[in-house]
Amino acid sequence: MGKFAIIFLLTFGGGIFATLAIDASWGVYAWIIEYFFNPKIRWWYHQLPELRYSFLIILSILVSWFIRRKKYSHNRLLDLPQTKWIAAMVAMCGLINFWAAWPEMHWLYFTAFAKLVVIIAVVYKVIDTPLKLERMIWAYMFGAFYIGWIAFSYGRTSGGRLEGVGFTDGMDVNAVAAAISSVIPLVVYYVFYEEKIILRVITVGFLAFMLNALIIANSRGGFLGLVVAMAYYFLRTFFSSVSGKEAKRFQFILMGCCAVGMFFYLADAAFWERMSTLGQAADQAKTTAGRTYFWVKTFDLVREHPFGVGIWGYQYLSPEFIPPEMLTYGEFGARRAVHSTIFQSFAEYGYLGLLLLGGLVVSNFRFIWRVQKWLLAENLHKLYLKSVSIESAFVAFLVPALFIDRLYAQSLYIDIALIACFGNIYMLQLQKKDNEQ
């Protein structure tokens, strides 16, 4: 049996046991790692027993949560502003079942989305201490590192890109790049502020493999997401009221230069050739051959279907409003996706889609900003810096999501869960204690 099969089995078996015997949070770590490992598409899968691994992990989390539900009752979902927006999305998605353009596909994805929301709600309930949150972040970083290891081992697999190594909810290389770019700001925080030298060295290794994976992926959206997120991270760190000593501004600049140097060292000619087409891609997007054309067509679709066409409805109806030569042939015939999470929500939910997605995104930013204001007022500067890395991870996902359909991506909701859990642990719980005294 190969080493990765053994690692996965140990992670799976140990996670299930610890979830049922100790705490439901262990299942959360296993669930995140299983998402990145995605065993069914790996070469070592034939070495494993034929089991529904994701289902068993989720089942163990729910059982453990139910058994210990009184222990987790102090974390109220209604304390989060994000809750009402996610609940509204699920409710609207359920209603659309009655008029979805492609009922079978809509129902399939709706049930998967509803299950994901339930799990994220349980994640918020059970990740209720700093140690649990720390372990969750490390599981997230380890999972992304595994993708980096695959990229290092395989290299470019198809068309000069890292194809065929994705997740259960997205095999596209751009989806992989979006997820990796979302984890990198978290890794950067630990590179700068982790106190244990051995853990800092490990995160430097993680960073190298993730940057290499992003380069091999050759995703313009993922690269743009990382650039925007790290610029955001830099500005929020440097122009905060945190002292230079605590923010390690000089070290940040020095190590930032080292990271950029590492990136340039790893980047090859194929990567820079693809990135050089960013300007061309912007110009092409304005033509009938680019993404903007498919986005604009969403307005025509929604005018006829103001309450949305449901999940995969745009693809199903695309032959009716997109020229045949612009369709792509795949498993379900000649179809076309809208290639934007914003316009995906617009097409699938109608006019309410923009409100729901906008409300969800804005509520997360407003919540983390409220948390950061609290942390600065309490002089919890290191936690403030950590919160900026979590916020930047969210930014790093949102940027490439502008160009791909990732409204139901597990990695998106892990980022949202990190914001929610961090705010609960380091603000809401502390505020409750102050009020009780």
Interval 144-195: pLDDT, tens: 999 999 988 887 776 666 777 888 887 788 899 999 999 999 999 999 888 8
- Which residues, including other chains, have CB under 8 Å from residue 422's CB and lie 6 or more apart? 133, 368, 371, 386, 387, 390
8 A C-beta contact, residue 27 and residue 61: yes
Nearest of 204, 212, 142 to residue 177 by alpha carbon:
212
C-alpha 137/C-alpha 383 separation (Å) is 14
Judge whether 151 lies within some domain. Answer: no
Low-confidence ranges of the chain (pLDDT < 50): 281-288
Phi, psi of 384 (to 5 degrees): -60, -45
Position 273 scores a pLDDT of: 64
Judge whether 39 lies within some domain. Answer: yes
Judge whether 375 lies within some domain. Answer: no
8 A C-beta contact, residue 271 and residue 262: no
Please give the radius of gyration of the chain, using alpha carbons only, rounded to the nearest integer: 22
402 CB burial (10 A radius; 0-12, 13-18, 19+): middle
pLDDT digits (tens, 9 = 90+) for 267-317: 655 555 656 665 554 444 444 456 788 999 999 999 999 999 999 999 999
CB atoms under 10 Å from CB of 346, counted, come to 23
Position 188 scores a pLDDT of: 92
Cα angle 366, 369, 371 (rounded to 5 degrees) comes to 110
C-alpha 348/C-alpha 41 separation (Å) is 29
- Give the strand pairing for 333-335 and 328-330: antiparallel
C-alpha 394/C-alpha 320 separation (Å) is 35
Host domain of residue 49: 1-73
C-alpha 285/C-alpha 344 separation (Å) is 17
Position 95 scores a pLDDT of: 97
Amino acid (one-letter) located at 321? F
Using a cut of 0.85, tell me whether the model's pTM lies above it.
yes
Judge whether 262 lies within some domain. Answer: no
Judge whether 360 lies within some domain. Answer: no
Judge whether 255 lies within some domain. Answer: no
C-alpha 243/C-alpha 27 separation (Å) is 38
Judge whether 303 lies within some domain. Answer: no
Amino acid (one-letter) located at 202? I
Phi, psi of 328 (to 5 degrees): -115, 145
Query: From start to end of 365-426, where are the E strands?
Result: none
Position 165 scores a pLDDT of: 81
Q: Which residue has the tokens 């925080």?
A: 189
Q: How many domains does the chain have?
A: 1
8 A C-beta contact, residue 119 and residue 58: yes
Judge whether 57 lies within some domain. Answer: yes
Position 263 scores a pLDDT of: 65
Position 126 scores a pLDDT of: 96
